[in-house]
Structure 1
Amino acid sequence: MRAGVFLYPWDVDGDPAAPGRLAALARLGVTQVTLAAAYHSTRALSPRHPAHRIVTAEHAAVLYPPDPARWAGRALRPYPAGQWAPGDAYGRAAEALDGTGLDVHSWVVLAHNSRLGAEHPETSVVNAYGDRYPWAPCVARPDVRALLVGLAAEAAVRPGAAGTELESCGWYGFAHLHAHDKTSGVPLGEREQYLMSLCFCPSCREGYGNAGADPDALAAAVRAALAPVWAGSGPAGGLGALEAPARAWRAGAARSFQDEAVAAVRAAAPPGFRVLLHADPDPYRCGADAGTDPAHVLGLADGVVARPPKVAAFAARARPGTVVAANLSVVTGMGGAPARLARDAVAARAAGATELRLYHAGLASDTDLETVRGELRALAALGGV
């Protein structure tokens, strides 16, 4: 099984010791670095860098200089990064990793951009109550789709990249790691989060209507279905006859966006360039692991990166050569279990995983990384990497 690790450019750029640490992982069977080229806003720990400990990425940005010709005259365009990743931070990090024995693949976040929603509120998902989600661009809007498809092609195919992994290549919705979040007073399960994620912007209202669901009636049905949740009297109800057309519209919109994004990357990439999606097998899932139809996405892309519980659903639809990468967290402070890496990898392989992704080599503590190295040795002894 090939194994890869996630990194941000600021984990490597300006740290002369970083390539050596990564080369040590390569000697233990890690073959790939998935390096962020376009990323959302975040506050990240960088525990080993000689110049900083906390990196505050103030807004979603590309971590390289965007091509002025590509974006000339367009109202919606990618935002360059600030001082957290100045200039071509991605390119400098990728160059520093040359010679470590690791392939570099780009990591591209698409439908997750709070600055876009703040500056262009019309681009955001709108829930059934009329609330906008500025972090969630609506992928059904033509102008948003044009931005994200162009971003996919540009950010994915960076010089020297052997492939890409597209994150949030589909619907984003209610769930979001937001600063000082105060949304947990009423617990929302998967059904409730789905209902809170249904979009009612003009593009989606038109789409629901074309699919046979009156958008006003659908919004009213969503509010009625959620009423017991707010009252504390029960879980969310159903949408009756409006459920199927609503789901069909959203699944179709996500699917066509994925088609366009992957096609744009393919058109820009050299032969042999590998395209993976961070994905969930539930077509109606929102978030970083976008909802997909497994048969469709595995016929479209070269494979997926998925959480361990979801690996089997993709493996069941895999063809020879399809990548099904199990995404394993190895950061203890973020709920990961580096001490279980070997066991979790064996279980993932039994479920059909062909590769591993370790999240996240830059965020992990020294203790976590040492544990990972030991677990990789154990896994190699089992024939795992």
Structure 2
Amino acid sequence: MKAGAFLYPWDVVGDPAAADRIAGLGVQQVTLAAAYHSTRALTPRHPAHRVVTAEHAAVLYPSDPDRWAGRALAPYRQSWMAGEDPYGEAAEALAAAGLEVHSWVVLAHNSRLGAEHPDTSVVNAYGDRYPWAPCIARPDVRAYLVDLAAEAAVRPGARGTELESCGWYGFAHLHAHDKAGGVPLGDAAQYLMSLCFCTECRQGYGEAGADPGELAAAVRRALEPAWSGSGSTESGWDGVGKLLGPGLADATWRRRGRVARTVQESAVAAVRAEAPPGFQVLLHADPAPYHTGANVGVDPDHIVAVADGVVLPCTGPDAVRAAVLGPFAGRTGVLAANFGVVGGMGGSPATLERDAAHAASLGADQLRLYHAGLASGPDMAAVAGALSRIG
């Protein structure tokens, strides 16, 4: 199985040994961040620093001023790394070590965009804005994301791209100093908390046959027991229907599903229009279409007809892998199983060989390892050992 590892440019730039060290793991590909959200990242092996604080979402290469001239929504430049093109510098070093470089592009996840342009954000049924979650139904947001996908994906030397959060973002997000875990919410309640009620979405619900005011009130009523009790455990689309009622649930998805599909189609088409022949386009995805977040909910039949494949979250018990890989069984395209290999972040590098074999039995044909720059020395050693046995 072809194996790839995720990496940030700051894991490589300024560390002459980094590229060879990554190649020594036994991976063939690096998925290198070109456009990324705010984060605080540990760099346990870098000779010059231990922590990098990316203060806001930014592109990690010099964006094209002509593309963004006169536009209110445009990518932010990074300021926490020296040089104009840290992505390009890291990509060149990795390629010189014999690694295939693919760009890693985060789209609908941008807290600074929401802070500076609040009208672009998802608004929940209570009127609260989610500044980290751009509403993909808004034409200006959609245009920004599609152009960002094309520019950030097709970097010099890149052989492909992986688009993250190419769809709806919502409530479930580890925001800065997150304090949102006091009331447990199952994925059905998460969906309700992620429904957007901005002016664009309210109009869209009306077009789908649901009065937006009545829909917002129904969401609040459905969630009230969670706030006054011990949370909400409903899960699956049946759980959404139980909370909201099947008619209203279906109306929300008719609207949101159509928007998500058109954004995904437009983003992939924009990338391909600028990419060389053979450039691979994958989406970080989840086969439950109503799910939101970095691994966006997709319709498996639709997405394999649009992109070259998907990257699916596979860390955890066998049932998790079966749930995410199973709906793609028998379909064409890349099926990459993404495993966390940072033990301190819930990953399990010690079981990688066994878990990868299970994923392969379910149809996975590639591996992704999150994250070679964040993992400890023992975690990296366990990954190298597993990959040497997987072959």
Does 2:267 align with 1:275?
no
Where do residues 47-58 of structure 1 align in structure 2 (5 Å cutoff)? Answer: 47-58=44-55
Following superposition, the deviation at residue 313 of structure 1 comes to 3.1
Partner of 1:239: 244
Where do residues 325-364 of structure 1 align in structure 2 (5 Å cutoff)? Answer: 325-364=336-375
Conserved? CA contact 1:63–1:85, under 8 Å: no
TM-score (norm 2): 0.94
Conserved? CA contact 1:8–1:35, under 8 Å: yes
Of 99-108 and 76-85, the range deviating more from structure 2? 76-85
Does 2:291 align with 1:316?
no
Conserved? CA contact 1:64–1:91, under 8 Å: yes
Partner of 1:383: none
Aligned counterparts of 1:287 and 1:85: Cα–Cα separation in 2 = 30
Which digits, 9 at most, give the CA deviation of each residue in 1:309-351, with x for residues without a partner? Answer: 24423432512xx100000111001011101010010000011
Aligned counterparts of 1:221 and 1:364: Cα–Cα separation in 2 = 44
Partner of 1:287: 293
Conserved? CA contact 1:57–1:84, under 8 Å: no
Does 2:91 align with 1:94?
yes
Where do residues 105-144 of structure 1 align in structure 2 (5 Å cutoff)? Answer: 105-144=102-141
Where do residues 140-179 of structure 1 align in structure 2 (5 Å cutoff)? Answer: 140-179=137-176
What count of residue pairs does the alignment treat as equivalent?
Answer: 375
Conserved? CA contact 1:315–1:353, under 8 Å: no
Where do residues 363-378 of structure 1 align in structure 2 (5 Å cutoff)? Answer: 363-378=374-389
1:296 pairs, out of 287, 299, 302, with 302
Could you say what secondary structure the match of 1:125 adopts?
A: strand
Aligned counterparts of 2:231 and 2:78: Cα–Cα separation in 1 = 45
Which digits, 9 at most, give the CA deviation of each residue in 1:86-139, with x for residues without a partner? Answer: 410000000111221210000000000000000000000000000000000000
Following superposition, the deviation at residue 197 of structure 1 comes to 0.3
Give the partner amino acid of 1:349: A
Aligned counterparts of 2:312 and 2:358: Cα–Cα separation in 1 = 14
User: RMSD between aligned alpha carbons?
Assistant: 1.2
Partner of 1:225: 222
Of 230-239 and 271-280, the range deviating more from structure 2? 230-239
Aligned counterparts of 1:221 and 1:369: Cα–Cα separation in 2 = 49
Query: 1:291–1:86: structure 2 CA closer, same or farther, 3 Å change rule?
Result: farther
Conserved? CA contact 1:330–1:360, under 8 Å: yes
Which digits, 9 at most, give the CA deviation of each residue in 1:166-208, with x for residues without a partner? Answer: 0000000001112221111111110111100000001101110
Partner of 2:21: 21
Which digits, 9 at most, give the CA deviation of each residue in 1:274-307, with x for residues without a partner? Answer: 0000000011110000010001001100000001
Give the partner amino acid of 2:244: L
Conserved? CA contact 1:19–1:96, under 8 Å: yes
Partner of 1:46: 43
Query: 1:369–1:157: structure 2 CA closer, same or farther, 3 Å change rule?
Result: same
Where do residues 199-210 of structure 1 align in structure 2 (5 Å cutoff)? Answer: 199-210=196-207
Partner of 1:198: 195
Partner of 1:250: 256
Q: Which runs of 4+ in 1 moved over 4 A?
A: none
Could you say what secondary structure the match of 1:277 adopts?
A: strand
Give the partner amino acid of 1:211: A
Aligned counterparts of 1:103 and 1:272: Cα–Cα separation in 2 = 13
Could you say what secondary structure the match of 1:238 adopts?
A: helix
Does 2:262 align with 1:265?
no
Could you say what secondary structure the match of 1:264 adopts?
A: helix
Following superposition, the deviation at residue 247 of structure 1 comes to 1.2
Aligned counterparts of 1:74 and 1:335: Cα–Cα separation in 2 = 40
Following superposition, the deviation at residue 20 of structure 1 comes to 1.6
Overall identity of the aligned pairs, in % = 69
